[in-house]
Structure 1
Amino acid sequence: MKIIHTSDWHIGRTLYGRKRYNEFEAFLDWLAELIEKENIDVLLVAGDIFDTSTPSNRAQEIYYRFLCRVSLSCCRHVVVIAGNHDSPSFLNAPKELLRVLNVHVTGSAPENLEDEVLVLKDPAGKSELIVCAVPYLRDRDIRTVEAGESIEDKNIKLVQGIKDHYGDVCQIAREKQKEAGNIPIVAMGHLFTAGGKTVDGDGVRELYVGSLAHVGRDIFPSFIDYIALGHLHVPQKTGDSENMRYCGSPIPMGYGEANQKKSVVLVEFEKNESENNVPKISIQPVPTFQKLIKISGDLDSITGKIKELKTSSSKAWLEIEYTGEDIAANLRESIDEAVAGSEIEVRKIRNKRIIDRIISRMDEEETLDDLNVEDVFTRCLDARGIPEEKRPLYIETYKETLKSMYEEEQDM
């Protein structure tokens, strides 16, 4: 049996205002072709299908068109779980209709945990795979709030709640495995594991366990044969475990990911009569559908690099960071002139000249787009003169407030 593990599509995401629908369509076309080429049986999508809780009509069209295409292919089952960017109610709304196409959706933690355990059948109707389709777990799904709790108490309860949830769901899967015979068990999740790698500008929200607590490998029972994770955009194993992986995002979400090798994970189980189902794992590289390039330097080096790109007929989208010591009064005009007559797009220009950084902490061209919500809060603490020793409590409380607001927004 062959399985593809993918996640963090973020359909609808923009880059400095530039819509990227062509990239999402190109990736999903490539993925559908890979499924047919490799004769894939099951597709696992580990959350963050959309970039917002209210995806545009175009984003929805891309998603549903892909599901219809895959349902008509060799792929017998698609399993989709919600991520922290997704609206649980939005994903769940068509789940009964999608089930007819063998697309199984888990948007939120159900009242009956057995609903998170899927026993997938082969064409002959014989059970061939058990999937623990656990979506992004929210605070209210896994812990109760008590008066007087410290941040540490909340973190401990969060981690324990996640561990208990997976323990219960996986135990149900274990019982179903005994009934079905020695078939593999795969667990899915959208969370932040301890030691996970992120990069600047990847858009991974610090609104869940990523900021409040990191879970360890031990939350997953040892009898799970493969663990398909989403949330982190860097493809990676978790610790030394070959069978517990983040596949990463399929396209770079920002310039911090521009030089990253994107991939999906191909997991293959052989028919095995022994007690253990050991998967064969291979990484399938995803092509680059839109080149992102960051250029830093003084004006001469920036324009020189642009000329090189024009010579190669590049269609790259550029983020430019000016670091020269001279005051570049007409920086924008010079760069526009340099790219004229090409298909290169300049998505962002940052003016980081040294003399400005000496005069002021804030660049003259700095806008709210250059700051994240934590940067803004830090500026507020600075303005209020809050001493360093008191800041950790303020920051953790602020993060928790943001998380609560965000989860309420996702339910709308």
Structure 2
Amino acid sequence: MKILHTADWHIGKKLHKHYLHEDFERFITWLLNCIQEHEVEVVLISGDVFDLANPSAEARRQYYLALKKLSNLNCKIMITGGNHDSPSMLDAPREILEALNVHIIGGMPQDPAHCLIPIRNKAGEVELVVVAIPFLRDSDLRAAEEGVSYDNRIEAIRKGIEAVFAQAAALCKQQFPGLPVIAMGHLYAAGIESSESERDIQIGNQAAFQASQFGDYFSYVALGHIHKPQRINAAIPAFYSGSPLPLSFSERKDEKRVLILDTEAGFEPQSIAVPAFRKLIKVSGTLDQIKAKLSLLSAEGELTNLIEVELLEEDFDARLINELDDLVTQFEKPGMEIVKHRASFKNQLRETGKLFDAHQKLEDLKPREVFAKMLEQHTYDAEIKAQVTRAFQEVLEQITNADPA
């Protein structure tokens, strides 16, 4: 039996206000071809189907259309909720989607046995079992108790996750003895590489789950939450498939993947690269360096390339910020768009309140005194300082003489 493991679709994601709808459409088209080419019978989606708990109408439309297209391939689809997903929103159409061979566990059910999904082969025999465990919230793991220390709470979460997986394993042993079992999970495991687009979970990721706590019963653990595809150091094959699309500029160098298991050959997955539909580019340096790098760029992929620009200079200079803004505004190159820019200065300006002695309060100072102190931090030449000072005096005069009405 062929099984495909994917996760972290984040439908409805915006990358610096730029929607990734087109990227997702192309991924689904590619995924359908991949499923047909490899004769996949089961698709596992391990959480974070949506980017928001209350997704937009367009995101929901893409989700249901994707499920319809996948179900047309006569493969069984299993979806678990992630920390970004609303359990009730995912679970609401469960009965209808089961008619399309789509099985959803949005939130942890009261009866853990409902997470056990037997998978039948073409002869109608149960060949393996999938334990579809969604993201486990605090309420799923422990009862709130007054007086519990911070360290104890972290340990309670770790032990709670371990107990859920152990209970699922015990139920499988009882109900499906001798059959291989695949567990799905959406969690943060210790010792992995993460990206800036992932939201911290369970006490800011401090309650990281130890891979050894999965035990040795499961044949494979299909994980979601971490966007970089990777294996974790467990006694059994346990993998993050990663997100199929780059969701932040920190993921721009990741090679996105889906994982395919062939149970006849074992439970070590084959890694299949997802094509890059657009390129994410980060350009940094001085203003002159940025200009040179931008001039050398050429468009790649089917969609508009997105660019992040970071100005790196030694000393603060407001003129450089204005020049950077102008550069971004005037940038025009086919198939390329700057979606974010920022400036960083090694020698940062001190906060206004720290420029004066401790006994001095800003409200007791005159505007010209505060302005003069701020101006001292700049390396402007005498002529520029004079121009800036005249401009400030004109603005101050207009404010002072303005009609209160």
What TM-score comes out, normalization by structure 2 length? 0.81
Identity of aligned residues (%): 34
Match of 1:251 in 2: 245
| AA partner of residue 261 (structure 1) | E
Match of 1:46 in 2: 46
Does residue 308 in structure 1 map to residue 296 in structure 2? yes
- Residue 231 (structure 1) shift: 0.6
Does residue 346 in structure 1 map to residue 338 in structure 2? yes
Match of 2:388 in 1: none
| AA partner of residue 130 (structure 2) | V
1:352 and 1:270 mapped to 2: Cα distance? 54
2:181 and 2:300 mapped to 1: Cα distance? 49
1:56 and 1:47 mapped to 2: Cα distance? 18
**Residue 285 of structure 1, aligned match among 269, 273, 292:** 273
Match of 1:33 in 2: 33
Spell out, residue by residue over 1:210-254, the C-alpha distance to the aligned partner (whole angstroms, 9 max, x if none): 524111123323121000000111111112656101111111111
| AA partner of residue 96 (structure 2) | L
**Any conservation in 1 of the 2:107–2:134 contact (CA below 8 Å)?**
yes
The 5 A counterparts of 1:6-405 are 6-75=6-75, 77-178=76-177, 182-199=178-195, 201=196, 203-208=197-202, 210-239=204-233, 243-270=237-264, 278-310=266-298, 315-325=304-314, 327=317, 328=320, 329-337=322-330, 339-355=331-347, 357-359=348-350
| AA partner of residue 309 (structure 2) | I
**Any conservation in 2 of the 1:35–1:74 contact (CA below 8 Å)?**
no
1:250 and 1:17 mapped to 2: Cα distance? 19
**Any conservation in 2 of the 1:48–1:231 contact (CA below 8 Å)?**
yes
- Structure 1 stretch 84-93 or stretch 320-329: which is displaced more? 320-329
**Any conservation in 2 of the 1:192–1:209 contact (CA below 8 Å)?**
no
**Any conservation in 2 of the 1:32–1:66 contact (CA below 8 Å)?**
no
Cα 1:210–1:133, aligned 2, differ >3 Å: closer, same or farther? farther
2:296 and 2:236 mapped to 1: Cα distance? 41
- Residue 112 (structure 1) shift: 1.3
| AA partner of residue 67 (structure 2) | L
Cα 1:25–1:242, aligned 2, differ >3 Å: closer, same or farther? farther
**Any conservation in 2 of the 1:233–1:248 contact (CA below 8 Å)?**
yes
Match of 1:409 in 2: none
What TM-score comes out, normalization by structure 1 length? 0.80
- Residue 193 (structure 1) shift: 1.0
- Residue 354 (structure 1) shift: 3.0
| AA partner of residue 239 (structure 1) | N
- Residue 281 (structure 1) shift: 1.6
1:312 and 1:289 mapped to 2: Cα distance? 8
Structure 2's unaligned 5+ residue stretches are: 353-405
- Residue 342 (structure 1) shift: 2.5
1:44 and 1:209 mapped to 2: Cα distance? 27
2:349 and 2:102 mapped to 1: Cα distance? 57
- Residue 359 (structure 1) shift: 4.1
Higher-Rg member (1/2): 2
- Residue 74 (structure 1) shift: 4.4
- Residue 268 (structure 1) shift: 1.2
Question: Secondary structure of the residue that 1:69 maps to in structure 2?
Answer: helix
Question: Secondary structure of the residue that 2:88 maps to in structure 1?
Answer: helix
- Residue 334 (structure 1) shift: 2.2
1:172 and 1:233 mapped to 2: Cα distance? 30
**Any conservation in 1 of the 2:8–2:48 contact (CA below 8 Å)?**
yes
Match of 1:365 in 2: none
**Any conservation in 1 of the 2:258–2:273 contact (CA below 8 Å)?**
yes
Spell out, residue by residue over 1:179-238, the C-alpha distance to the aligned partner (whole angstroms, 9 max, x if none): xxx432100000011112113x2x211132652411112332312100000011111111
Match of 1:378 in 2: none
Question: Secondary structure of the residue that 2:269 maps to in structure 1?
Answer: strand
Report the RMSD for the aligned CA atoms in angstroms. Answer: 2.0
**Any conservation in 1 of the 2:188–2:201 contact (CA below 8 Å)?**
no
| AA partner of residue 337 (structure 2) | E
Structure 1's unaligned 5+ residue stretches are: 272-277, 362-412
| AA partner of residue 86 (structure 2) | S
| AA partner of residue 85 (structure 2) | D
| AA partner of residue 274 (structure 2) | V
**Any conservation in 2 of the 1:170–1:221 contact (CA below 8 Å)?**
no
Cα 1:120–1:258, aligned 2, differ >3 Å: closer, same or farther? same
Question: Secondary structure of the residue that 1:162 maps to in structure 2?
Answer: helix
Spell out, residue by residue over 1:252-283, the C-alpha distance to the aligned partner (whole angstroms, 9 max, x if none): 11111111111111111117xxxxxx313211
